[in-house]
Amino acid sequence: MEPPEPPPLVLLVCTNRRFGWDRPSCAGRGARKLLKALRAEAAARALPITITEAPCQGRCSRGPVVRLPDGEVRSIPKVVPDAIAHLLLGF
């Protein structure tokens, strides 16, 4: 009997938008650009991870944020290659 496949790794990127000039949100702070950059980097490295949109993670003032497979939520304030590579380093 073969061992079971490990569960898939999923990285969640909050893309929630809160409307109002005084209400920060991940979408308003570049979440879609981050999502696209993470997907491109994961594909370029052929990483076995799914990167998908997620609803609000409760950290609107720190966005955009990502939820890692271990449940940790991290803020990625700017889409820069080094930050993305560092985030994906463990996969």
Encode pLDDT of 54-90 as tens digits.
999 999 888 899 998 888 888 887 666 666 667 777 6
Structural element, H or E, at residue 89: none
Query: pLDDT by residue (tens digit) across 11-53?
Result: 999 999 988 767 889 998 999 999 998 899 888 888 888 999 9
Q: How far is CA 25 from CA 9, 17, 31, 59, 82, in A?
A: 25, 5, 9, 8, 23
| Domain ranges within the chain, ordered by starting residue | 16-50+60-88
